[in-house]
Structure 1
Amino acid sequence: MFIVSFLQHLRQIGVVGKFVEFFGPGVTHLSIADRATISNMCPEYGATVGFFPVDEAGLAYLRETGREEGALKYVGAYLKANKMFRNYSDPSEDPVFSEVIEMDLSTVVPCCSGPKRPHDRVTVTDMKADFKQCLSNKTGFKGFAVPEDKLDVTVPFVYEGKEYTLKHGSVVIAAITSCTNTSNPSVMLGAGLLAKKAVEAGLTIKNSFIKTSLSPGSGVVTYYLKESHVMEYLEKLGFDVVGYGCMTCIGNSGPLADPVADAIEKGDVVAVGVLSGNRNFEGRIHPLTRANYLASPPLVIAYALAGTILIDFETEPLGHSADGKPVFLRDIWPSKDEIQEVEKTYVLPSMFREVYSRIEVRLFIMPHGDNN
């Protein structure tokens, strides 16, 4: 959610082809994973490079991911000798920039992006109203041109012996995917804790026909999700590991169940895909999901629980507990302290060393003069 706001801000400024370096005391409030995500997504805001200079948190990350202490001493000494090491709280270390743009992190609000482009940001509180408007808008990046008499269309169908109804805004794909977001321990553990709290509150995925999946960016993610005992809850909600790296984000979701596909086509329904990837152009995710929203991994779970994009999380519950009490997203959303405590306990250097030790590197040397 935070990342989408950040990227849209940079797009509005106009940084195409530029080297963007981030500095200032606010950087210390960003985790290394957040910094890496913002840097890795520089193609999304058009920059040639998105750069966060290394600081003590950077060295701590190297230590956390299993690098040898001797190597860390050399890395730190080299960066400091070349004035590439940074204390973000010391303005005297800041270089002279050709242009300085300020962003107040306190103004960032939860948001998604869509329904057809990664830079069309929508605050979570506005998602319901924005989607309704998109249905009526003329065909375009923010419009589907649904006739007024078809806005409330409903299509009943049977899936695995149970009756369901499909409407505009119904979620049919919910995927925690993309190497960028799914290598971030904070958001992945946040999603796992949300799943745990949801199951404990008696919630299930609203509609069993929703195609749910989890494709982490690294095998380490599976390791710490299991060790922290949240994987079982993700699996109970249908978010089983289907592979690693880019999956649904590049259209590898596979076909929808025939009854679902038939219902979408029969009613010309604007069905929705929600994913944690970085691309949502029309037709990319799935030919039958005309609306696709980029969201954080925890929000992917939230919309899967709701079963629709047409929900106001502030005023409408995700579902009801066994005793009939409404359960709101705020009731099960994990706190920052909870996530950090779990991350500190379960994301360990030994995990990275063990997983990376299994990686095989094979070099294929072409014979001299062979151009084939």
Structure 2
Amino acid sequence: MLSAKSAETIRATLPAVGGAIAEISSVFYDKLFAAHPELLRDLFNRGNQANGTQQQALAGAIAAFATALVENPDTPPETMLNRIAHKHASLGIARDQYYVVHTHLFAAISEVLGEAVTDDVAAAWSEVYWLLADSLSSIEDRLYAESDHPGTWRDYRVVGRYAETDDAITLLARPADGLPVPSRLPGQYVSVQVELPDGARQIRQYSLTGTRTDAVEFTVKNARGTPDGEVSGHLHRHVTEGDLLQLSAPFGDVTLDEGDGPVLLASAGIGCTPMIGMLGHLASTDSPRQVVAVHADRSERTHARRAEFDQLVTKLPNATGHVWYEAPEAEHPGDRTGLVDLSTLNIPEGTTAYLCGPLPFLRALRAQLLDRGVPADDIRYEVFGPDMWLAR
């Protein structure tokens, strides 16, 4: 809990710091990477740095945590903390790295705010930072202790590569050391580290899609944008059967709850991957739960794991599947053309909803679910890349 003196200072300075936090984040990363270029090369996502989303996410997370400390001091933002801690654990973040971040973050705060950063202001915001860092470190230490994965990184050999669509492939990999595959929960992801032509060792996360106990399986979309995805492009162009990949233990806070209550699994685009993992788990355990599976895509041709979606829904005794295509390439129901409309579906009382897809899709479906009476606490989502929504 924030001390009374610091809480008063944070409350007074939050508007000024909050208004400048985006600039502070940008200056912070400039200073961090100037002092430690290896972090940009081998740890941080260079694409997210280039397009600015990582800076925005950091700014939002700091502002959200500080706001929570002064407005709801007895209720820590557990969802935000767990989301960040799982991502950090998948990267192998260590406690001593928080000291490095503190040095450059507070240098950035001083540079941007200048004389406004008095000793009391610096002390108060330092207290906020260390409360955040200690909270994250505690969760990360627990995650490391609970993992049955030998170390941060482990060599896996690719034993299968399968084309899903024109821009999506599925990779199947087994531990090269012959030891068991680590336990995982439906909905979790692994980090994949690859060495790029310039020597950088970049890392990305991919949701686990299979239920096999002797291998891990994940689907990779070849990301196109500004810039194009470095790791996804490398995996598409260069990785074949027999190659070695370095993978982390499974992590991720958005996992399918055990129980017998109804669930809604809704995805768009490559957001289908954690939902395929959840559907696969339900089917492999002969779950009697009511399941409403929803997917949105541009067309049949771009829908990765389409046949498996149908097969898994069919295996479940109390499941229904619903697919919307924006531009169907074959005969397709008119009421399933365009954007997802949950008002046409039966959503059982007591449903827990799991969502994954682009931010506009998540916002639209969350609004529809709230209109249908689904409590906000029962709506969970996974987003690929920096979480621009959660940090607000």
Give the TM-score taking structure 2 as reference length: 0.26
- Give 1 or 2: higher helix fraction: 2
- Give 1 or 2: higher strand fraction: 2
Question: Larger relative contact order (C-alpha < 8 A, sep ≥ 6)?
Answer: 1
Give the TM-score taking structure 1 as reference length: 0.27
